[in-house]
Amino acid sequence: MTTPTIARPIDGKAAAAAVREKVAAEVARLSRENGLVPGLAVVLVGDDPASAAYVRSKGKATVAAGMRSFEHRLPASASQAELLDVVALLNADPTVHGILVQLPVPPQIDPHAVIMAIDPRKDVDGLHPENAGRLASGLPALVPCTPLGCLHLTKSVHSSLAGLEAVVVGRSNLVGKPVAQLLLAENATVTLAHSKTRDLPAVCRRADILVAAVGKPGMIRGDWVKPGATVIDVGINRVATDDGKGRLTGDVAYDEAEKVAGHITPVPGGVGPTTVAFLLVNTVRAACAAAGLPAPAL
């Protein structure tokens, strides 16, 4: 009788810590040699607890890396014009190299208008159409942070992605589409699947690399996973528990998938920590570009 194989978890915390360490070293070098201190501004509208926690973690990570951290908070009642005024000030501030408006924003504000208002050179979330278009065209661009983390973790277990079959489940502008573009740039054969995909389980079972980014807890079952596949779970969902505290879970049924996959990211502790790490990377890249310096080796 063959003993079931248990997938090796991909340690996102350790990977993120290593990236942050490199960022801190690069920031110290830029300050020492060029007098350049990258600056990241985060704008929060309203008092959503989860968004506020994200903003705090980003601020702490920015300061820990030796960078300037700017935080702007607006009340939930703020108008779109008020938010756009803040963005305009940050666009014009030479000490701010990266601008991130924490999403979601209240319903009276059009998020697309906000994204369009951010200077593409400071768009460290990588959502401006100019950056999305450059990514799709294979040109240098600021790329969304979570997809960069997904690619980093995938490459930590594959020396080359060339020729591998990748399936991305989810087609959002923030994760699904840019992840697909990044994998394609690594010469993987990419399928971008979604809610209208016919026989989604069969499509997933083809994947050497399976990226789940749909926001539905446990949607990807164990029998959807190809034996030995690398599974990257982007989902962060809070589900109810008997004690009322709730727990975080991904888009993949982890207990099932780990019996089939070769490598898998846990939730929490997988993709999540890398998002903030690559936000710092993007800010340093934007600062170097603004100063006319070579792109940092990050």
Model confidence over 82-97: pLDDT tens digits?
999 999 999 999 999 9
The model's confidence at residue 238, banded by pLDDT at 50, 70 and 90, is confident
Q: How much is the pLDDT for 31? A: 97
**How far is residue 22's CA from residue 26's CA, in Å, rounded to a whole number?**
6
Give the tens place of pLDDT for each residue, 285-298.
Answer: 999 999 999 999 99
- Of the ranges 34-48, 108-122, 236-250, which one carries the lowest mean pLDDT score? 236-250
Kindly report the average pLDDT of the chain as a whole number: 95
Question: How high is the pLDDT of residue 152?
Answer: 98
More confident residue, 247 or 139: 139
β partners of residue 73 = 44
**Tokens 């994998």, located at residue:** 183
> How does pLDDT run across 202-225, given as a tens digit for each residue?
999 999 999 999 999 999 999 999
Question: Which residue among 102, 122, 181, 226 is the active-site one?
Answer: 102
Percent over 90 (pLDDT), the chain: 89
Domain boundaries, the chain: 35-119, 144-272
Instruction: Tell me whether domains 35-119 and 144-272 share a fold.
Output: yes
- The per-residue pLDDT for 295 is 94
Residue 244: pLDDT band (50, 70, 90) is confident
In this prediction, residue 4 carries a pLDDT of 56
For residue 123, indicate whether it is catalytic. Answer: no
Q: Which of 48, 93, 110, 125 is catalytic?
A: 125
58 flagged as catalytic: yes
Quote the radius of gyration of the chain (alpha carbons, Å): 20
The sign of the dihedral angle between the CA atoms of 9, 176, 253, 261 is negative
**251-271 confidence digits (pLDDT tens):** 999 999 999 999 999 999 999
Name the CATH superfamily for 35-119: Leucine Dehydrogenase, chain A, domain 1 (3.40.50.10860)
pTM of the entire predicted model? 0.94
Measure the CA–CA gap between 161 and 205, rounded to whole angstroms: 17
Q: How is domain 144-272 classified at the CATH fold level?
A: Rossmann fold (3.40.50)
Give the confidence band of 239 by pLDDT, cuts at 50, 70, 90.
Answer: confident
Strand partners, 70: 41
The model's pLDDT over 10-61, given as tens digits with 9 standing for 90+, comes to 999 999 999 999 999 999 999 999 999 999 999 999 988 888 888 999 999 9
Asked if 296 and 288 count as a contact pair (C-beta separation under 8 A), the reply is: yes
Q: How do residues 125-135 score in pLDDT, each as one tens digit?
A: 999 999 999 99
Rounded distance between C-alpha atoms, residue 220 and residue 204, angstroms: 9
Distances in Å between the Cα of 166 and the Cα atoms of 103, 194, 198, 244 are 28, 14, 17, 37
How large a percentage of the chain has pLDDT more than 70? 99
